[in-house]
Structure 1
Amino acid sequence: MQYQQGFLISRHSRDVRGTTEMVFWVQTDGGPAKLVIQGERPIFFLPEIDQQSAVNLLDQENITHYTKPLDLHTFSHTKVVGVYFNTLNACQRATRLLQSQGFDPFESDIRLTDRYLMERFICGGMLFTGDKSDKHGFTEYRNVKLKAAEYQRPLSRVSLDIECSEKGILYSVGLDSEMDSRVIMIGDPKEQDERPEWIEWVPSESALLQALCLWFHTYDPDVVVGWSVIDFDFRLLVKRAAYHRIPLTLGRGREKAHWRDSSKGRQGFITIPGRVVIDGIDALKTATYSFSSWSLESVSQQMLGEGKAIDNPHDRMASINRMFAEDKAALAKYNLQDCVLVNRIFDSTHLLEFFIQRSRLTGIELDRVGGSVAAFTNLYLPRLHRAGYVAPTLASENWIASPGGYVMDSKPGLYQSVVVLDYKSLYPSIIKTFLIDPLGLIEGLKADIETKTVPGFRGGIFHRNKHFLPALIEDLWQARDEAKRQGEKAFSQAIKIIMNSFYGVLGSSGCRFFDHRLASSITMRGHEIMKITRRLIEEKGYEVIYGDTDSTFVSFGRAFSQPEADKVGRELAEYINQWWVEHLSNDYQLASALEIEYETHYQQFLMPTIRGQDTGSKKRYAGLIERDGQKEIIFKGLETVRTDWTPLAQDFQKSLYAKVFDGQDIDEYVRQLVDDTLNGKYNDKLVYRKRLRRKLDEYQKNVPPHVRAARRADEINQKLGRQLQYQNGGWIEYLITIHGPEPKEALESPIDYQHYVDKQLKPIADGILPFIGKDFATLSLPQLGLF
């Protein structure tokens, strides 16, 4: 039996003629292949004591099934039976029926394709064999057998973007890929002054949709990317295809794209057989990127230093309509530029590589947004079955919160020479060291010999030998170290996110393995570790001024040179690590995976107070570091890095802190800045930008300034006959005037400059000036003449 290698692109299942059919599309060295498996039975599990009652119910409803005794138990050590069905529909009907009658079908929510793959430990790469038949553009295999394999290959990608009227009538579709880049544009080329070869002209909207399908059949991409590409571009493409009664055959094998809305209707999902669609915004969030604004203009400016030609929504719509009417070639350039920008963002961040590596590590779908719980389930569930257990059902109603990360009370002040010691992957190392694991908890609680267990917190006890999570952490840890050595940034980042998600998953009510004893045994152990770390440092004669989750801030009490600070920082880290090795070995008979590292030396460091109080703040500080001979101020949690402060305040904070850290006199600088602000020299820096997190009409009792500005903006839009812009959320830019907040695009009143002095400049200055014996109120007084 000859096996071939493939990498999984998409997975689907359905009922066909009284049985199930699973289809796995894979990419191989010889091109795309469609793997078809029929007859796999959906299953869930029931406690053996409920078997007869449940069977009677299913028989009454004529739901065909059969049961089988299994050597599996629930977490409460109750024996279960497997309940099998011929079709997905029968399994779903049975689940709903039994749940309505108070039964608990375990693992009934595991999808057929996911269970099939995870039980074979297939994560992206696979070996397959079956009965082969050549099709147009792909190879089909039936009677397929699969098994796991280490295999990956580059996937082809196209960036897609549409342009349309405000009523959703298509104008053009842009497509940018290494295979072919073009814009399919509605229009008559004979009427155009400019007719670039990369524009494909079509006579109508229906012809545009047909040309788009043909492009996909011709160039056959594995992955489609874009910006809001699912909820905007594909939602509209599906809608327009339905209007024209044209099958949107974008899938491989000329299969139709399928659209479905979420249960709440706020989000849509597109399925294209043989391909995956990855939205740029969701992808960046999944890879833990963060931006103040997620518009393509803002992200591309920040990442690439380049943006869209027009970004104001009213200008944009008017310009698009004008270009479509008068200069279609210009519209095509604009359309294609958006596609190119998205591709460049994916290239610069290695996003597609990140998703491929994540799939290789966990087996979850390439296009899965978030996916931490799914990744954990894929990795853990098959191992749990082999240990003789079925997974529990979600039980969010019994959710008990666990303590968060340890945050120490800070000691406010302006310091010289502060070093930061940081535990490397603290929560994963706690899991690995103290053997924290769902199975370990269940087995630990029933162990009758204390030497077989490790104590946790809140009643948690963990078995020393029966567990999986510590070994999974170790495998991922080694893989990440190797990825770092090989310079594989996307692979290293994927591993880091997966490892760090394990605590969050175990502490989430959305995970079937949640138990507050698991999450608490991680976070409360972290508290203990951080307190002991502080004690060890202070015993060496240094002052700990702050601690946060896994980081400890140490003041040396005087200025140290960089080499001096590096030496002491490394010595402290080595001492603490060795202390943990000896302590855990002697007191717990455990091998320590805890590793604290010397991370940063701040030559100057500010720990501010809470505004208006003497108490030290938390998660807010600033410090001056030197890298490669260049000085840089790092801000954490302060106004400079917060989007709800104006550019004026942010620029003031950067300049003021730089001057204070450098020992410069700041009196004249502060006084002049206040004068210039009051005299209108910084009007371009007075704009607030804030997000509307709810629909505009949902703000009733408390109406904050940005909501008032948004309401005013839409009142003006309505008067001008323009589309309302802020009714369903979004971002608003506004200024404070003498008559209150007004939208930036429709400013009617004089600016209230005193507001900006009192509410933007003063709080910034008050955060640092008291530590150098200065007072903003005094400095901001106007200069008085002698006569």
Structure 2
Amino acid sequence: MIQHLQQGQGFLLNATSYDRQGRAHIQLYLASEQGPLRLEISDQQPLFFVLSSELPAALQALTTPPARYQDLPLKTFQQQAVSALYFTTIEQHQQAAKRLQQSGFSCFEHDIKLHERFLTERFCYGSLSYQGRLKPHSHFPCLQQVKIKACQYAPSLSVLSLDIECSEQGQLYSIGLATKDYQRVLMIGQEQPASTPISWVENEYALLKKLEQEFAKLDPDIIIGWNVINFDFRLLAKRAALHGIKLLLGREQSQLRWRERSDNPQNGFVSLPGRVVVDGIDALKSATYQFDSFSLEHVAQQLLQRGKLVDEVGDRMAEITHNFQHDKPQLAAYNLEDCQLVLDIFQHTQILDYLCLRSQLTGLMLDRSGGSVAAFTNVYLPKLHRAGYIAPNLSRDFIADSPGGYVMSSKPGLYHNVLVLDFKSLYPSIIRTFKVDPLGLVEGLAEPEQAIEGFRGGKFSRDKHFLPGIIEQLWQQRDQAKANHDKARSQAIKILMNSFYGVLGSTGCRFHDPRLASSITMRGHQLMQQTAEWIRQQGHEVIYGDTDSTFVWLNQQLSADQAQQIGQQLAAGINQYWREKLATEMQLESHLEIEFETHFSRFLMPTIRGSETGSKKRYAGLDAHNKLIIKGLETVRSDWTELAKHFQTGLLERVFSDQDPRAFVLETIAKLLEGEYDSQLVYRKRLRRNLADYVKNVPPQVKAARLADQQNQALGKALQYQNKGSIDYLITLNGPEPLAYQHSHIDYQHYLDKQLRPIADAILPFVGLDFEQISSAQLGLF
């Protein structure tokens, strides 16, 4: 019976390719207009390219010939003709590439997966329209003989938040599940009254089977959680294996699979066909969120101003186990609140909107963390093919690194009326203006007479390039997103645009070439230096420059309105200068745009500690709204104490308002020595390695962590610090001690010398004062 064609639009959840019955297959799961859907494609063959001049020898070197091969109107960046070798199965494709490489042949684009090539060559990123025939006798909607093409489709995705509670040994207690309109905890134990909706089960085996039933009923597209892959799903897979269960949590009753990373067994990948697992920590990091700690408690407090439902925050495991044994309704409430916190964080940050937009811009899957190189390749490669080129392989030949962003030596001092002028998206605008592009480099070197001069020998074609156009299109989309107050889209585009320089500068990218990255960063140096010189010619002094920001001291008495007017005039003048200069000297249209960003009525540029040289990336100022802005100083660094932050802020406020700070300094010292600031003396630092890996250099946080776990072991508690983490500790007369197990008296002299003195020495000399002289009289009283 001939099935009628069905068509529609959908959003890609999973894409895989595999061999079955002697041929390669592609499988795509979509969230579609009609609900979840699977697409099967079986008419695609994996391929790679070899040099046409080497084709006869390559064919002879293969023990199993390709399904077919043919010359193509494509060439390498070295202008060499290539031929494509097609294979029936993925395994044959991989074995052939391996054999040829071992024999000294170059195999181009052999590492591009079949499903990735199928999608990107059709410019299908995230959303796609489909057409195919319904697979007969299938219980799940499935289309075969599928054709796809690009489209714009806004998905409506169902989201389930999951969180498990367990013993220290990993035995499951309960599993919390929450959606926007559903909440339930699956709990081992006898039924008892509870305000939280609970499904009671007899044992762990029944708990896992109940979880399968809930997944089948709720049928989520997305599962979210906190460290949900490397903790929750890893433990679920482990407990299921212990019971001999194939945990069927994917669509079509497919099995949950968790596999370890080869380089880090503690971390891994989870596979749930037809569903996507998104970890909250990875998702926020991909959107450039930064926190002192990415614990759920800390992030929830920062974003939602609430946290976990637990009394003993320092010993949650003990309370969880106690509640499982004595107060299961309370454990259920705690479990469910963790689910709800994650849901609310996702809602508050619009992080799923961001991930969907990132997918639609680049083809990256929702659960992909990082992936800047893959995103660039997805966007760039199909355009490159249509220009008649194939991509190069990763190269080990390039040694020269490109320099980083421009940082000018600062002029330390305490200033009135400092302006900050920022180049808007400097690196993307350099790419647009000077046509920095992989294909443009190839074509520019081939025809150097008409090319745009880059750096380190780079030359770029004026009309044969893709990246400047990609940037321009993204720029326009971002401007529209800003106009529509669409923060998620604006952020996604900004991150993507700014990643392009990093990609081109990364040796992990197949398009890496030092001439590309250097033609961006070194052009940035040139722009910043010449901009500073132009400002000086207008009679103003440049006291600092950093990547894309220029700090200008007006050196005259001005009102805020007058200072801002000068800032606007300077920005307009600089933009006009570059438009005229580039048009005249290089026949280029300038896309550079500098903006007047901030007027600081008072501004401090400190010296490097223990030196008279001006610091870099460290300053403080009072902006037009009388708000204290601090960059790079101790107040904004997580490894300094609350006392340091309190002291620095207080000093700056007094100095900027022309108050005498001596009374404040003396009061702070007195209160420190009298113990009034004890709660502000806690250091919180990360353990970047496992505890046992610290052998020669043992910093204070490691000593404190070892003491803490020695005490934990003595008390029969779980060891907390063996595998990285963060620890709170104090410096005592007996050295560093963990906050939870502090026994010795606090070493106040340490905090005076290492926290107060360095801050004071960076500020007080600018108002003619000396911390040593101020403090000596006070210290004589103790």
Secondary structure of the corresponding residue to residue 98 of structure 1 = helix
**1:94: Cα distance to partner?**
1.9
- Alpha-carbon offset, residue 379 of structure 1: 0.5
2:244 alignment counterpart: 245
Report the Cα distance in structure 2 between the residues aligned to 1:578 and 1:275, rounded to whole angstroms: 52
Assess, with a 3 A threshold, how the Cα gap between structure 1 residues 112 and 299 changes in structure 2: closer, same or farther.
same
Q: Within the alignment, does 1:725 sit opposite 2:698 as a pair?
A: no
| Partner in structure 1 of residue 169 of structure 2 | 167
How much has 1:84 moved relative to structure 2?
1.2
Residues 139-160 of structure 1, C-alpha deviations (whole Å, 9 max, x = no match): 2111111111111222111111
Task: Check conservation: 2:391, 2:511, Cα contact below 8 A.
Answer: yes
* Cα distance in 1 for residues equivalent to 2:145 and 2:121: 18
The worse-fitting range, judged by mean Cα deviation, of 457-466 and 301-310 is 301-310
Equivalence for 1:582: 580
1:218-229 aligned at under 5 Å gives the runs 218-229=217-228
Structure 1 distance, partners of 2:421, 2:711, is 54
1:174 deviation in Å?
Answer: 0.7
Q: Distance in 2 between matches of 1:99 and 1:345?
A: 48
Structure 1 Cα separation of the partners of residues 137 and 599 of structure 2: 63
Structure 2 equivalent of residue 503 of structure 1:
501
With over 3 angstroms needed to count, the CA separation of the structure-2 counterparts of 1:311 and 1:35, relative to structure 1, is farther
Partners of 1:774 and 1:135 in 2: how far apart?
A: 86
Displacement of 1:133 after TM fit? 4.6
Deviations 1:160-194 (A, max 9, x none): 110011111111111111242111111110xx2x2
Please say if 1:408 is aligned against 2:397. no
Equivalent in the alignment of 1:479 = 477
Cα pair distance change 1:550/1:784, threshold 3 Å: closer
The one-character-per-residue Cα deviations of 1:390-419 (angstroms, maximum 9, x if unpaired) are 111112463421000000010000001111
Task: Tell me, yes or no, if structure 1 residue 50 matches structure 2 residue 65.
Answer: no
Aligned-partner Cα distance in 1 for 2:308–2:604: 39
- Report whether the alignment pairs 1:294 with 2:298: no
Aligned to 2:207: 208
- SS of the equivalent of 1:364 reads coil
TM-score, length of structure 1 as denominator length: 0.96
| Residue 457 of structure 2: aligned partner | 459
Residue 682 of structure 1 aligns with which residue? 677
Question: What's the secondary structure of 2:603's corresponding residue?
Answer: strand
**SS class of match (2:38):** strand
One-letter amino acid of the counterpart of residue 576, structure 1: I
Q: Are 1:571 and 2:593 an aligned pair?
A: no
CA distance in 1, matches of 2:49, 2:555: 63
User: 2:6–2:133: 8 Å Cα contact kept in structure 1?
Assistant: no
1:123 aligns with 2:121: no
Q: Say if 1:135 and 1:220 are closer, same or farther in 2 by CA, change over 3 A.
A: farther
Give me the whole-angstrom Cα distance separating, in 2, the residues matched to 1:314 and 1:414. 43
Q: Which moved more, 1:656-665 or 1:305-314?
A: 305-314
1:52 is aligned with what amino acid? P
Preserved CA contact (<8 Å) 1:63 1:90? no
Aligned counterpart in structure 2 of residue 177 of structure 1, from 167, 179, 185:
179
Contact 2:309/2:333 (8 A) holds in 1: no
| Change over 3 Å in CA distance of 1:353–1:248 after alignment to 2 | same
Q: Work out whether residues 31 and 138 of structure 1, in 8 Å CA contact, stay in contact via their aligned partners in 2.
A: no
Task: Measure, in 1, the Cα distance between the counterparts of 2:764 and 2:89.
Answer: 72
Change (3 A) 1:668 1:387: same
4-13 or 371-380, which deviates more: 4-13
Distance, in Å, in 2 between the alignment partners of 1:135 and 1:10 is 23
Aligned CA-pair RMSD: 1.7
In structure 2, relative to structure 1, the CA distance for the partners of 1:359 and 1:785 (3 Å cut) is closer
C-alpha contact 1:297 1:311 (8 A) present in aligned 2: no
Tell me, what secondary structure is at the counterpart of 2:574?
helix
Identity among equivalent positions (%) equals 55
Is residue 40 of structure 1 aligned with residue 68 of structure 2? no
Distance 2:674 2:358 in 1: 55
SS of the equivalent of 2:85 reads strand
Contact 1:123/1:360 (CA < 8 Å) preserved in 2?
yes
**Which residue does 1:546 correspond to in 2?**
544
- Which amino acid counterpart does residue 500 of structure 2 have in structure 1? F
Secondary structure of the 1:400 match is: coil
C-alpha displacement of 1:311: 8.1
The two structures have a TM-score, normalised by structure 2, of: 0.97
CA distance in structure 2 between the aligned counterparts of 1:301 and 1:28, rounded to whole angstroms: 36
Task: Rate the CA distance shift 1:784–1:181 in 2: closer, same or farther, 3 A.
Answer: closer
Task: Please report how far the alpha carbon of residue 699 of structure 1 lies from its aligned counterpart in structure 2 after TM superposition.
Answer: 1.7
CA contact (8 A) 2:670 2:778 kept: no
In structure 1, distance between residues paired with 2:174 and 2:453: 63
- 1:70 matches 2:69: no
> What is aligned with 2:260?
261
Q: Please give the alpha-carbon distance, in whole angstroms, between the structure 2 residues aligned to 1:45 and 1:663.
A: 71
**Which is worse superposed, 566-575 or 152-161?**
152-161
For 1:647 and 1:244, the matched residues in 2 are separated by 49
Tell whether the 8 Å contact from 1:12 to 1:22 is kept in structure 2 after alignment.
Answer: yes
Within 5 Å, which residues of 2 pair with 1:134-173?
138-173=140-175
Residue 39 of structure 1 and its aligned partner are, at CA, apart by 3.3
Matches within 5 A, 1:294-333: 294-310=294-310, 315-333=315-333
**Residue 656 (1) aligns with residue 651 (2):** yes
Pair 1:784–1:3, CA change in 2 (3 A):
closer
CA–CA separation in structure 2 for the residues paired with 1:780 and 1:571: 46
- Determine if contact 2:13/2:366 at 8 Å carries over to the other structure: yes
Partner in structure 2 of residue 383 of structure 1 = 383
The answer to whether the 8 Å contact 2:196/2:329 transfers is no
| Whole-Å separation in 2 of the counterparts to 1:12 and 1:458 | 41
Cα shift readout 1:531-564 (whole Å, capped 9, x = no counterpart): 0110111111111100000000011113432211
In structure 2, what is the Cα distance between the partners aligned to 1:785 and 1:197? Answer: 61
Distance in 2 (CA, whole Å) between partners of 1:134 and 1:298 is 51
* Contact map agreement 1:179 1:219 (CA 8 A) in 2: no
Would the aligned equivalents of 1:399 and 1:509 in 2 still touch at CA under 8 Å?
A: no
* Residue in structure 2 matched with residue 740 of structure 1 by the alignment: 735
| Residues 606 and 531 of structure 1, relative CA distance in 2, 3 Å threshold | same
SS at match of 1:780: helix
Q: Distance in 1 between matches of 2:672 and 2:388?
A: 71
Q: 1 CA distance for matches of 2:731 and 2:245?
A: 51
Structure 2: 5+ residue runs without aligned partners? none
- Write the letter of the residue equivalent to 1:352: L
Instruction: Map Cα deviations across residues 302-337 of structure 1 (whole Å, 9 max, x no partner).
Output: 111111133867621111111111111100110011
Deviation at 1:3, TM superposition (A): 3.0
Shift of 1:197: 6.0
The amino acid of 1:170's aligned partner reads L
Question: Residue 345 of structure 2 corresponds to which residue in structure 1?
Answer: 345
Q: Is residue 644 of structure 1 aligned with residue 618 of structure 2?
A: no
> Which deviates further from its counterpart, 414-423 or 393-402?
393-402
